[in-house]
């Protein structure tokens, strides 16, 4: 498995950090574990993600939709390199609020 995931709560915000590569659906299996993503206000920290494919993009967009249905929001932070290029080329970046750092993303929910 090429992907490592860490989840932590910051008040009413859940931060899920991704490290490594999302190259297949099997890389995302751990994300289906109960309790990993519980909040409707979510930050996906992609600063340590080096590669992503359509499976990863699909997963992120599905979570955005679920979050908004629950009157929450999903924020992305730390996009860079290949991951940032994929988001820009696919125009998926226009769906999200994107911040440079995890702290900026968490502060967004304080408003």
Structural domain boundaries of the chain? 3-97
DSSP bridge pairs for 7: 16
Q: Which residues contact 11 (CB under 8 A, 6 or more apart)?
A: 109
Kindly indicate the confidence band of residue 80, based on its pLDDT and cuts at 50, 70 and 90. Answer: very high
Inform me whether the pLDDT recorded for 81 exceeds 90.
Answer: yes
% pLDDT > 90, the chain? 70
66: Cβ–Cβ under 8 A, 6 or more apart, which residues? 40
Residue 36 gets which letter from DSSP?
A: S
Report which of 25, 24, 32, 40 is spatially closest to residue 109, judged by C-alpha positions.
40
Residue 68 has pLDDT above 70, yes or no: yes
Contact between 28 and 3 (Cβ < 8 Å): yes
Task: Tell which wins on pLDDT, 108 or 26.
Answer: 108
The answer on pLDDT for 38 being more than 80 is no
Please tell me the CATH superfamily of domain 3-97, with its number. Answer: STAS domain (3.30.750.24)
């Amino acid at each position: 498995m090429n992907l490592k995931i860490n989840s932590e709560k910051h008040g009413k915000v859940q931060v899920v950090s991704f490290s490594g590569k999302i190259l297949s659906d099997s890389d995302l299996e751990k994300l289906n574990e109960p309790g990993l993503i519980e909040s409707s206000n979510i930050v996906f920290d992609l600063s340590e993600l080096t590669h992503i494919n359509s499976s990863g993009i699909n997963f992120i967009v599905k979570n955005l939709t679920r979050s908004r249905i629950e009157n929450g929001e999903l924020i992305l932070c730390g996009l860079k390199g290949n991951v940032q290029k994929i988001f820009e080329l696919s125009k998926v970046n226009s769906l999200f609020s994107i911040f440079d750092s995890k702290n900026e993303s968490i502060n967004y929910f304080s408003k």
